[in-house]
Amino acid sequence: MQQENINLENIIDIIKKRWKLIISIVLAFTLVATVATFFFIKPKYEAKTKLFVGKEENTKNNSYNASDIQMYQQLLKTYTDVIETSDLVTRAIETKKLNVDAGSVLSKLSVNPIANTQILEISYTGTDKNQAKDIVGAITDEFVKTSKDLISNANVKVVETVRLPEGPSSPNKKLNISIGLLLGLIVGIGLAFFLEVTDTTFKSKEELETILGIPVIGEIPNTEKVK
């Protein structure tokens, strides 16, 4: 227990001795993270919509049983794969005359069936919020048309209209700055301990007496101070 107390005291002493170095590194890392976040990382905007997949509205029996619900939930996976095809995305782009290529759109497109529901979410993240909205809208319209040809008794309905993103979805400014601060603290403390371990000099007679266990009986004067 005594040894643990000494170790803890040593750690505190090192931090106290090197606190200027640690603070400097923390400030430097935090500053770099802040500048990078605000001036170098382009903000990205997410536009999204939600679709409901169910029975055709004009069917005589529009009620659901357990097997119906399960079938349409399984259908969501098929529809996800259909939306993520290059052909559908290309048709959507060409129909709306959007200035973007299908490969680029697919790399930023996300289609996710919401678990235990009949809801399919389509989202796109890009640096242009207007373009992001237009792309999601175009893909949604094209998919609704395509779905009618795939399964005749299935109905795809928009339940959440795509809207212009109010603000960027990334970068997370607070998170980036916090990470910079934390990294600076880790690096600063690590460097302080490294310098302490590699420093083999004695800074005072008390330190020498502690290490050797014997008293110091004489000192060599600092000639510079004497002058």
Helix axes 66-83, 129-150, angle to 10 degrees: 120
* The two structure tokens encoding residue 134: 């237009």
- Report yes or no: 33 and 179 within 8 Å, Cβ to Cβ: yes
- Report yes or no: 111 and 120 within 8 Å, Cβ to Cβ: yes
Torsion of CA 99, 100, 101, 105, to 10 degrees: -150
Is the whole model's pTM more than 0.95, yes or no? Answer: no
pLDDT in tens, 150-182: 887 778 999 999 999 989 999 999 999 999 999
Would you say how long the chain is, in residues? 227
CATH no. of 45-160: 3.30.70.1130
CA distances (Å), origin 184, targets 13, 34, 219 = 19, 13, 39
User: Whole-angstrom Cα distance, residue 73 to residue 149?
Assistant: 19
* The two structure tokens encoding residue 207: 């330190």
Domains of the chain, residue spans: 2-40+171-226, 45-160
Q: How confident is the model at residue 214 (pLDDT cuts 50, 70, 90)?
A: confident
Kindly write down the DSSP assignment for every residue of 165-189, as one continuous string: -SS--B--HHHHHHHHHHHHHHHHH
User: Whole-angstrom Cα distance, residue 142 to residue 12?
Assistant: 65
Quickly count: other Cβ atoms within 10 Å of residue 3's Cβ: 7
Q: How confident is the model at residue 64 (pLDDT cuts 50, 70, 90)?
A: low
Check residue 44 and report its DSSP letter.
Answer: B
Q: How confident is the model at residue 2 (pLDDT cuts 50, 70, 90)?
A: very low
Question: Residue 43: is the preceding peptide bond cis (ω within 30°)?
Answer: no
Confidence (pLDDT) at 158? 94
